[in-house]
Amino acid sequence: MTATHARLFFALWPDAQTRAALVRWQRAVEPLCGGRVMHPDDVHLTLAFLGDTPIGLLDPIKDLGSAVRGASFALRVDRLHYWKHNRIVWAGLEETPAALTALVDDLRARLIAADIRFDAKAFVPHITLFRNAQPVEVWPELPAIDWQVDGFALIRATGGKGSRYRVEARWPL
């Protein structure tokens, strides 16, 4: 990253209770899959990944975030998955709430209207727990995590590979 660009994304940022539950999942699974554990303070659910973005767009992107509307909703994190192509272990949902889909649709429509680039591939709600992990034949039974979502955030990566994340702005739902 240069001084003229920042790596940005919109995300659901867990509250302390949800974060602690996700960390318990990480601890339970780490002996099985290994890999590089996501820092507990950085686990999140990405809504729209903007990537390397000119700093001059930071304020317009924050304005765009302020305009997004949505209702609060409950998520039930209840599944573990493995993406072979990038060796990621992630937590997911059996059911995606309509309010989450509507939030993503609104956010992406506003990004398109503002001509702000983002990764437009199909939205798969996921929370990355490990990178460079090994596949697991059978996942352990873990208690579902109920997450009451009442807002979203704009996140900025600080550093290069293995970077940490910081909240740039938050908005309520």
Residue range 21-37, pLDDT digits in tens: 999 999 999 999 999 99
CA contacts within 13 A on the Cβ side of 136: 21
Token pair of 121 as six digits: 């591939």
Catalytic residue among 5, 39, 85, 126: 126
The answer to whether 39 is a known catalytic residue is: no
Quick: pLDDT tens for 61-70: 999 999 999 9
Quick one: CA dihedral 100, 80, 120, 4, positive or negative? positive
Residue of 5, 39, 44, 81 marked active site: 44
pLDDT above 60 (res 1): no
Is 81 assigned a catalytic role?
A: no
Q: Which helix (H) or strand (E) holds 81?
A: strand 73-83
Q: What is the pLDDT of residues 134-171, one digit of tens each?
A: 999 999 999 999 999 999 999 999 876 667 999 999 99
Q: 5-172 has which CATH code?
A: 3.90.1140.10
* Mean pLDDT of the chain, nearest integer: 95
Delimit the domains of the chain by residue range: 5-172
CA distance 134 to 64: 39
